[in-house]
């Protein structure tokens, strides 16, 4: 774990769709006093500033979404249904308001701590198989909104074995009520840790 180092800001530059694909297979890492948890990102969704009513920034800058308008490579964390946090990576040019939602993680380290947070009966495949579950397992909350992902305790690092995730499938986004037809969700097809399983074909 000591060898894992955060990506620099250049990693987050480029189009939001490119970054959403680039994140697949890389490690999301969270350090805390309780210990460290990390795992491979296996599902992302891109949210765009232009012609995308599902994007939070489509309504303009608000108290909730202001982090989206900042520089790329920061965490955008928000609460849904008053219960669950969602973790996003800010992308695109500053002031445009784009981000990538990280939807699911394949756990790789700190599984005992994840299970302690999620509950002893939670199966490995269900520890971080959805945005809210992920944030619970990784102890991500609003206090990390705006955090620079080039720094600890929350960061994204290179997975030396990321080539095993090179097959990426684009699908419609899920859990939204508008712009559902756009192929802006990216998954490792057949991966058992997805928030919703996808056929291999």
Residue 192 banded pLDDT, cuts 50, 70, 90: very high
pLDDT, residue 83, reads 86
Q: Return the pLDDT at 180.
A: 79
Element (H, E) at 111: helix 111-118
Number of domains within the chain? 1
List the beta strands (DSSP E) in the chain.
Answer: 27-32, 35-47, 75-80, 84-91, 98-109, 154-157, 169-171, 185-187
Q: Per-residue confidence at 159, pLDDT binned at 50, 70, 90?
A: very high
- Return the CA Rg of the chain: 15
pLDDT in tens, 36-54: 999 999 999 999 988 888 8
- Please provide the DSSP assignment of 45-93 as one string: EEE-SSS-TTSGGGG---TTTGGGGS-SSBEEEEEETTTEEEEEEEESS
User: What integer pLDDT is reported at residue 177 of this predicted model?
Assistant: 83
pLDDT at residue number 7:
96
pLDDT > 50? residue 200: no
With a cut of 90, say whether residue 57 has pLDDT above it.
no
Q: Report the percent of the chain where pLDDT is more than 70.
A: 97
| Per-residue pLDDT, 198 | 59
User: Considering the chain, what is the average pLDDT of its residues?
Assistant: 92
Average pLDDT for residues 61-72, to the nearest whole number? 90
Examine residue 131 and state whether it is found in any structural domain, yes or no.
Answer: yes
Q: Which domain holds residue 78?
A: 9-187
Per-residue pLDDT averaged across 98-123, rounded? 96
Of the listed ranges 110-114, 128-132, 174-178, 181-185, the least confidently predicted one is 174-178
Give me the CATH number covering residue 141.
3.10.300.10
In a domain, 129, yes or no: yes
Residue 1 lies in a domain: no
CA distance to 55, 60, 135, 137, per residue, from 172 (Å):
14, 24, 22, 26
Averaged over 156-180, what is the pLDDT? Answer: 90
What pLDDT score does 95 carry? Answer: 86
């Amino acid at each position: 774990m000591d060898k894992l180092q955060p990506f620099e800001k250049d990693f987050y530059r480029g189009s939001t769709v490119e970054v959403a694909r680039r994140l697949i297979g890389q490690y999301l890492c969270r350090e805390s006093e309780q210990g460290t948890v990390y795992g491979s990102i296996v599902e992302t969704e891109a949210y765009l500033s232009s012609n995308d009513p599902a994007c939070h920034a489509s309504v303009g800058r608000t108290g909730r979404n202001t982090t989206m308008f900042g520089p790329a490579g920061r965490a955008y964390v928000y609460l849904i249904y008053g219960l669950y946090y969602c973790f996003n990576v800010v992308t695109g040019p500053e002031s445009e308001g784009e981000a990538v939602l990280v939807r699911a993680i394949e756990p790789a380290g700190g599984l005992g701590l994840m299970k302690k947070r999620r509950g002893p009966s939670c199966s490995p495949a269900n520890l971080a198989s959805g945005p809210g579950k992920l944030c619970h397992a990784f102890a991500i909350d609003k206090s990390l909104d705006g955090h620079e992902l080039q720094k600890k305790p929350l960061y994204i690092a290179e997975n030396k074995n990321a080539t095993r995730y090179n097959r990426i499938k684009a699908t419609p986004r899920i859990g939204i009520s508008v712009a559902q037809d756009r192929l802006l969700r990216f998954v490792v097809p057949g991966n058992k840790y997805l928030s919703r399983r996808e056929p291999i074909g």
